[in-house]
Amino acid sequence: MFTGIITDIGHIKKVEPRGDLRVTIATGYDTAGLAIGASVACSGVCLTVVAKAPGEFSVDVSAETQRCTAAAMWAEGRRLNLERALKVGDELGGHIVTGHVDAVATVVGICPEGDSQRIGFAVPHEIAAFIAPKGSIAIDGVSLTVNEVSDQPDGSAHFAVNIIPHTASATTFAGLAVGDEVNIEIDTLARYLSRMRQVLAA
């Protein structure tokens, strides 16, 4: 379980094709305190630490995880938003994030708005109904508030968020460009409310 508050920006040092993909990530975390078997959210994907050394840790990325995440994510040099798992008693600064990616979105627009940037994303129809103005969403593991949603004729949706300067500097968002893909996790509450409606309507 995570909160969507990024605490480090790492980068992929090495990718080794095995049965799964072994990915080694450089980090500013003190890996002496990072246990084997611990969970780390890597740009919104909950992964298990399987090996570590000073300044780096390794995870195994399954074929299913590769299918469900942004296509260019698992490449050497890729920068990743990192968050260690929430501890009981920690401050909950964002919202409850599970690290399970629901869909991949595409950046469709970036424009300045004051000192911030408004970034627009296109999402597939499968999750369009789960995104609401002023609701929470995790984008590449970052907890954000949806500003606006625009439904599209094909059932998909566009939505926008505002990125303040601090968020841009503390995450990988400063490097986002139109056409980039990002990992999306919808709000857990929205998921369960949708399921309740299905059951009650049956």
SS3 59: strand
**Alpha carbon 32 to its chain's center:** 25
Q: So what CATH class is 8-84?
A: mainly beta
What's the average model confidence in pLDDT over 101-121?
A: 97
User: Please, what CATH class does the domain formed by 103-201 belong to?
Assistant: mainly beta
Number of C-beta neighbours around residue 116 at 10 A:
15
How far apart (Å, rounded) are the C-alpha atoms in residues 108 and 160?
10
- 37-96 pLDDT, tens digit each: 999 999 999 999 999 999 999 999 999 999 999 989 999 999 999 999 998 878 878 888
Give residue 38's pLDDT: 98
| Residue 118 pLDDT greater than 80, yes or no | yes
pLDDT of 180 = 98
pLDDT at 190: 80
Q: List the structure tokens of 198.
A: 């299905």
The amino acid present at 32, given as its one-letter code, is A
Task: Name the one residue in this structure whose structure tokens are 């490449």.
Answer: 75
- What pLDDT is recorded for position 161? 98
CA pair distance 61, 67, nearest whole angstrom: 10
Look at residue 192 and tell me whether its pLDDT is greater than 80.
no
Q: Please write down the long-range contacts of 15-19, taking CB distance under 8 Å and 24 or more positions apart.
A: 15/74, 15/75, 15/76, 18/60
- CA 192/CA 175 separation, integer angstroms: 33
pLDDT of residue 96: 87
| Per-residue pLDDT at 194 exceeds 80 | no
Residues of the chain with CATH 2.40.30.20: 8-84, 103-201
Mean pLDDT of the 185-191 span? 86
Q: Residues near 119 by Cβ (< 8 Å), separated by ≥ 6?
A: 107, 109, 110, 160, 161, 162, 163, 173, 176
| Confidence at residue 65, expressed as pLDDT on a 0 to 100 scale | 97
Does the pLDDT at position 202 exceed 80? no
The pLDDT of residue 80: 98
Backbone angles phi, psi at 176, to 5 degrees: -65, 145
**Amino acid code (one letter) for 8:** D
Average pLDDT, the chain: 95
Q: How confident is residue 28, by pLDDT bands cut at 50, 70 and 90? A: very high
Retrieve residue 45's tokens. Answer: 């994907």
* Sign, Cα dihedral of 49, 50, 53, 57: negative
